[in-house]
Amino acid sequence: MSSYNQEIIAAISTPVGEGAISIVRVSGHGCLYLIDKIFKGKFHLTDANPHTIHFGSIVNDKGKALDEVLAAVFRSPNSYTTEDMVEINCHGGWFVTNKILQRILECGARMAEPGEFTKRAFLNGRIDLAQAEAVADLIKARSDLAHKVSISQLEGKLSQQIIHINSQLIHLISLIELELDFIEENIVLTDKNSIIEKLRLILTELQKLIETYQQGKLYREGIKVVIAGMPNSGKSSLLNLLLEEDRAIVTPIPGTTRDIIEENFIINGALFRLTDTAGIRLSNDTIEIEGVRRSHEKIQESDIILFLVDISKDIFEDEIRLINQLIFERKTILIVLNKIDLVDDETISNNPISTQFQVFPIGKISAITGTGIHELKKLIFNIAFSGIPLPSEAGILVSNERHRQALVSATKSLELAIDSANNNLSGEFISVDIRSAIDSLGTITGEVTTDDILNNIFSNFCIGK
């Protein structure tokens, strides 16, 4: 387990910029004494009761007020970090907030590193590693579903499941090792088949958790939807319609969009990251060539491609070729016939695209009138979440790649343990593999960890968290 020195740390915990208030956070043994040197209120913060707020001023080295503030006092162990803490609520200007922070640093505190407050909460055992990671996810959550996943992880649901699985594994090891103690006497305490049976059950449980990753990741990061198609098919019009704002330039001139435009939007509480691209065609224009190159790049990175077709045209050779190519590349593609306001029903159902790709879902819209947009959103949502296993029985979703890797390596170890048991190898072999599964699972909660893992995780936090 990593440790930290006991220095007092400080940071601005609110975003940079102007606001009604900003908060400067200070944590560490002795921080109340430190703030008392620069805080002038009715009495000293060192005399204050825990969880109380005090009005006063922060003063400079000449005793002149820098700002009027409210200081919230927390005492160990009942604080975010479990240490003594002060949170100074000051006026929310960039200059004044920094002045206060500088003053605190002058008095002996050190600038906190990104995520250091949360890291201390972890190192002091108030939360485990999966919960600490959930704090960062919660801050970044941009949709209902992302929020749901992170809050359940913050409440410790994933950790509880991991701890439960680990305790079952530890029990199995104790059975196996007890038997090893009696090996000389040839006493058999456990039925080998029942051990294999139990390992298999745990393995299945882990595999189910791994299967939830795809969904968890989509919930957390959002689904990348790229609008692609030939120039002038109405891609930018569709983007504007989905976003309900005039985000992208729309003109009748083919080749209008050159740059990539990306925006978020929500369907049924799920986050979708929508990208408008340059229409795909051969061009002599340097800027457009670069635009088309970026379109292809975005298509490769996408989860779903909305392939837009201007249905009012007569010839669809290029579209058919591009769609076939995307299908060949095993891309998830949703064909969307646009400009249905310009054609009759007969054309909509009997055009070459509809007949040739009838096994695929096809959206039919008018990006000008808005016809069909509601159905299109439903289609996008269903495609994004079809074929994805539901959350595990406990309703837990794994959304973090680090957790997924730990689960995968635990399953590999358990498979080896089962193999050893099946091949009648000595109990020692079985228990070594079970132990390494326990270690892998322990990295999720942070029971087993290294400084590298911790630095990696906490460097992704914002300063002041």
Ligand X SMILES: Nc1nc2c(ncn2[C@@H]2O[C@H](COP(=O)(O)OP(=O)(O)OP(=O)(O)O)[C@@H](O)[C@H]2O)c(=O)[nH]1
Q: In terms of CB distance, is 228 or 397 closer to ligand X? A: 228
Would you give the binding string for Mg ion spanning residues 354-393, x where CB under 5 A is met?
A: ----------------------------------------
Contact indicator for 306, 322 with CB cutoff of 8 Å: no
Interactions with Mg ion, residue window 195-254 (CB under 5 A): 235-236
Chain residue whose CB lies nearest ligand X: 279
Q: Hey, what are 429's tokens?
A: 């072999």
339 interface partner picked from ligand X, Mg ion, none, CB below 5 to 8 A per type: ligand X
Residue 252, contacted partner among Mg ion, ligand X, none, CB below 5-8 A by kind: ligand X
**Position 342 contacts ligand X (CB under 6 A):** yes
* Residue 335 touches ligand X, criterion: CB under 6 A: no
| Amino acid making up residue 422 | N
Residue of 211, 263, 290, 341 that binds ligand X (CB under 6 A): 341
Q: Which residues pair with 41 in a beta bridge?
A: 56
Does 257 sit near Mg ion (CB under 5 A)? yes
Q: Which is nearer to Mg ion, 236 or 449 (CB)?
A: 236
Task: Give the total of residues touching ligand X (CB under 6 A).
Answer: 24
Residue closer to ligand X (CB basis): 101 or 278:
278
Interface residue with ligand X, options 150, 159, 232, 275 (CB under 6 A): 232
- Angle, helix 129-140 to helix 427-445, in steps of 10 degrees: 40
Is residue 407 within 8 Å of 414, Cβ to Cβ?
no
Q: How far is the CB of 337 from ligand X (least distance, A)?
A: 10
* Stated length of the chain: 465
User: In the bound complex, what is the minimum distance in angstroms from residue 238's beta carbon to ligand X?
Assistant: 7
Taking CB within 5 to 8 Å according to partner kind, which of Mg ion, ligand X, none is near residue 354? none
Considering the complex, state which of residue 256 and residue 283 has its C-beta at the smaller distance from Mg ion: 256
> Does residue 237 belong to the site contacting ligand X (CB under 6 A)?
yes
Quick check: 137 and 118 in contact, CB under 8 A? Answer: no
Please identify which residue in 150, 153, 257, 354 interacts with ligand X, judged by CB under 6 A: 257
Report the SS3 class of residue 270. strand
What x/- string results for residues 266 through 295 when contact with ligand X is judged by CB under 6 A?
A: ------------xx----------------
- CA pseudo-torsion sign 350, 351, 357, 363: negative
Q: Whole-number minimum distance, CB 349 to ligand X, in Å?
A: 17
For the bound state, the minimum distance from the C-beta of residue 254 to Mg ion, rounded and expressed in Å, comes to 9
Q: Could you tell me which of 51, 34, 54, 35 has the C-alpha nearest to residue 43?
A: 54
In sign, the C-alpha dihedral spanning 440, 442, 448, 454 is: positive
Smallest separation (angstroms) from Mg ion to the CB of 228? 11
Indicate the Cα dihedral angle 182, 201, 449, 146, nearest 10°: -170
CB of 160 to ligand X, least distance (A): 49
Contact 400, 209 (CB under 8 A): no
Rounded to 5 degrees, φ, ψ at 68 are -90, 135
Contact 94, 16 (CB under 8 A): yes
The listed partner (Mg ion, ligand X, none) that binds 255, CB under 5 to 8 Å by sort, is ligand X
Distance CA 457, CA 365 (A): 44
CA–CA–CA angle 187, 193, 199 (5° rounding): 115
User: Measured between alpha carbons, how far is 294 from 292 in angstroms, rounded to an integer?
Assistant: 5
Q: For ligand X, which residue of 252, 282, 314, 386 counts as binding (CB under 6 A)?
A: 252
Site string for ligand X, 361-390 (x = CB under 6 A): -----xxx----------------------
Burial class (CB in 10 A: 0-12, 13-18, 19+), 328: exposed
C-alpha 17 chain-centroid distance: 25
- List contacts with ligand X (CB under 6 A): 229, 231-237, 250-252, 254-257, 278-279, 338-339, 341-342, 366-368
Residues that bind Mg ion (CB under 5 A): 235-236, 256-257
